[in-house]
Structure 1
Amino acid sequence: MPRNLGQTRLRKRRRAENPMREFDRLPPVLRAWVSQAALPWRPRSVLRAYQNALAQTGDQGRALEELGRLEALQLAKDSTGAATA
């Protein structure tokens, strides 16, 4: 059965938690961001990154921009790994 992770070289891990329950607990603005994200973020990971960015910036919009920057870094890491493989 194909998974929704696509062709990525990034690490994949199985989790014991219920990801949908964790997703439902996210703030609405963060749920909206994750639903448009290019990578399959874990709810706990995206919440931690968002809270850190929010603490640093003090602004919700800038915190979401920081999440986009983090995601772009991961995408670049994945694309450079695919080019060398």
Structure 2
Amino acid sequence: MRAYDALPAELRDWVAHAARPWSPRSCLRLWRRAMAEEGCPKRARARLDRAEAAMLARDPGMA
């Protein structure tokens, strides 16, 4: 739970509403990369949404 609590607020909110379970470590890695490349929390969240949608498309049983 500490790892989840240590996530940035925007990312914690995204994880709380995600369609599939994410480990804090994996979503933080994606978040950092998205923030570095996108530079904006809103665009970074959209990128995480796309990553999750791609995962769900590959394995519909995850939804």
Find out whether 1:28 has 2:9 as its counterpart. yes
Find out whether 1:39 has 2:20 as its counterpart. yes
Summarize deviations over 1:1-20 as a string: whole Å, max 9, x none. Answer: xxxxxxxxxxxxxxxxxxx1
Deviating above 2 A after TM superposition, structure 1's stretches of 4 or more consecutive aligned residues are none
Find out whether 1:70 has 2:33 as its counterpart. no
Larger helix proportion, structure 1 or 2? 2
Question: Offset at 1:21?
Answer: 1.1
Alignment TM-score, normalising by the size of structure 1: 0.69
Measure, in 2, the Cα distance between the counterparts of 1:36 and 1:57.
Answer: 21
Unaligned runs of 5+ in 2: none
Q: Percent identity?
A: 49
Please give the root-mean-square deviation of Cα atoms over the aligned residues, in Å: 0.9
Alignment TM-score, normalising by the size of structure 2: 0.91
Measure, in 1, the Cα distance between the counterparts of 2:9 and 2:40.
Answer: 16
Match of 1:10 in 2: none
Match of 2:38 in 1: 57
